[in-house]
Amino acid sequence: MASSQTSLLIFSFLLLFTSLFLLPLPSSATLDFCSPNAMYQLGDSISDTGNLIRESTSPAASAFAHLPYGISFFSQPTGRCSNGLLMIDYFALSLRLPLLNPYLEKDADFTHGVNFAVAGSTALDTSFLAENNIGSPVTNSSLFVQLDWLKSHLTSICSTEKALSLRLPLLNLYLAKDADFTHGVNFAVPGSTALDSSFLAENKISSPDVIELGAARVVVPGNFPIGCFPIYLTAFQTNDTTAYDGFKYLKDLNSFAMFHNDQLQQALQQLREKYPNVDIVYADYYNAFKWVFDNAPFLGFDMASLHKSCCGSGRQYNFDLRTMCGAPEATACPIPDTHINWDDIHLTEGI
């Protein structure tokens, strides 16, 4: 079961390099046709391998520093928002690279790249969010801050422009947009598209920044079908049956995610025209994730728990904002790989 789900993940990563929708690879497969010597990651909790727990002592951060986070692979918490490995970890393994160390880890080995992602970070600057009366994020390490970290790191290890170009063969610009959506955005009211437009504008600004630094390949993902996650299913729960699709997911939220993804792809196409010698790849998380949901019974997932978090504290979706995963009162399901959702908004290692 775990092997089939891991192979699906490797398959999803192929979307970062090719437009061909091929069959899943074996879990031991590696990406022989693409062998960069280093990889750099920017983003949020989807990719953070330990930065948030090193920069913050807030309750939100400390949850990720406690079991059962990390229980399935590392047998201890690492700051990853999952029970084990993240997508970026599988990506590194497929490229025969070591797992990326978090930038804020002291004396870490950054020979083959750095992970700058911070859980809870935003693509939009925190000052912009404050001006628009959007609640304070978990961290102030927005995309702008992460870009500064990247520039500082590269300056410290590269003495010439040629050396810099050799250090940036692959940069995963997993832009931290989910946190922008989560903090105070009501998807059903006017203004959502205005915020999304601001995010897309920052996307177009930030991508050239990393390209000018010498990135040869930039990977930018779309958003997940957010109407499938326990946190949103709980927050927007309604007795109106027309709000849900045939799988009992929230239609409006998924429609908004599709709108965002369409706009993002248009923005990326403009960047491709401006930088024809750079591989700017859109990673279609939405359809890859929907494929998993649509085929869940054939992949070994527990259909009775499809909408629920593995780690939580009860209620319909096993999610309670007052007692989240990592809290003493929260518990984890016995076999996480039978669940798609690890906690309220993060995936299990198996997916």
Catalytic option among 178, 180, 284, 343: 343
What is the per-residue pLDDT for 324? 92
Strands 39-42 and 113-115: parallel
- Residue 1 pLDDT > 50: no
Q: Collapsing DSSP states into helix, strand and coil, what is residue 206?
A: helix
22 pLDDT band, cuts 50/70/90, is: very low
Strand partners, 115: 41, 102
Between residues 200 and 91, the one the model is more confident about: 91
Q: How far apart are CA 212 and CA 194, in angstroms?
A: 28
Q: How far apart are CA 82 and CA 86, in angstroms?
A: 7
What is the per-residue pLDDT for 232? 94
Give the side-chain half-sphere CA count within 13 A for 240.
8
Mean pLDDT is lowest, of 62-76, 135-149, 163-177, 244-258, for 163-177
194 pLDDT band, cuts 50/70/90, is: very low
CA 147 to chain centroid: 17
Q: Which of 40-54, 58-72, 170-184 is most confident? A: 40-54
The tokens for 34 are 């693409």
What is the per-residue pLDDT for 121? 85
Return the axis-axis angle of helices 285-294 and 251-274, rounded to nearest 10°. Answer: 140
Does this model's pTM top 0.95? My answer is no
- Residue 226 pLDDT > 50: yes
- Residue 196 pLDDT > 90: no
Q: What are the residue ranges spanned by the domains of the chain?
A: 37-338
167 pLDDT band, cuts 50/70/90, is: low
Strand partners, 341: 309, 347
164 pLDDT band, cuts 50/70/90, is: low
30 and 96 Cβ atoms separated by less than 8 Å? yes
Is the omega angle on the peptide bond into residue 137 within 30 degrees of 0, that is, cis?
A: no
Return the axis-axis angle of helices 251-274 and 192-212, rounded to nearest 10°. Answer: 30
Q: How far apart are CA 344 and CA 56, in angstroms?
A: 21
Burial letters for 205-241: b for 16+ Cβ neighbours within 10 Å, e otherwise? Answer: ebbeebbebbbebbbbbbbbbbbbbbbbbbbbeeeee
Mean pLDDT is lowest, of 15-24, 273-282, 317-326, for 15-24
Average pLDDT of the residues in 174-201: 42
Q: Catalytic residue at 141? A: no
325 pLDDT band, cuts 50/70/90, is: very high
Q: What is the CA radius of gyration of the chain?
A: 19
Q: Collapsing DSSP states into helix, strand and coil, what is residue 91?
A: helix
109 and 101 Cβ atoms separated by less than 8 Å? yes
- Residue 142 pLDDT > 90: no
Q: What is the pLDDT of residues 104-140, one digit of tens each?
A: 999 999 988 899 999 988 877 777 777 777 665 688 8
Report the largest interatomic distance among the alpha carbons of the chain, rounded to a whole angstrom: 62
The tokens for 65 are 């520093």
What is the per-residue pLDDT for 237? 96
The tokens for 66 are 């406690």
Q: Which of 31-45, 194-208, 225-239, 253-267 is most confident? A: 225-239
Average pLDDT of the residues in 27-51: 74
161 pLDDT band, cuts 50/70/90, is: low
- Topology of domain 37-338, per CATH? Rossmann fold (3.40.50)
Average pLDDT of the residues in 164-171: 55
343 and 312 Cβ atoms separated by less than 8 Å? yes
Catalytic option among 45, 56, 121, 309: 45
- Residue 230 pLDDT > 80: yes
- Residue 187 pLDDT > 50: no
What is the per-residue pLDDT for 35? 62
The tokens for 198 are 């601001």
144 pLDDT band, cuts 50/70/90, is: confident
Q: How far apart are CA 37 and CA 216, in angstroms?
A: 12
Positive or negative CA dihedral for 77, 81, 85, 90? negative
Q: What is the pLDDT of residues 51-74, one digit of tens each?
A: 999 997 776 678 999 999 999 999
47 and 78 Cβ atoms separated by less than 8 Å? no
171 pLDDT band, cuts 50/70/90, is: low
Q: What is the pLDDT of residues 265-316, one digit of tens each?
A: 998 899 899 999 888 889 899 999 999 988 999 999 999 999 999 999 988 9
Q: Catalytic residue at 262? A: no
Q: Catalytic residue at 28? A: no
Catalytic option among 260, 307, 339, 346: 346
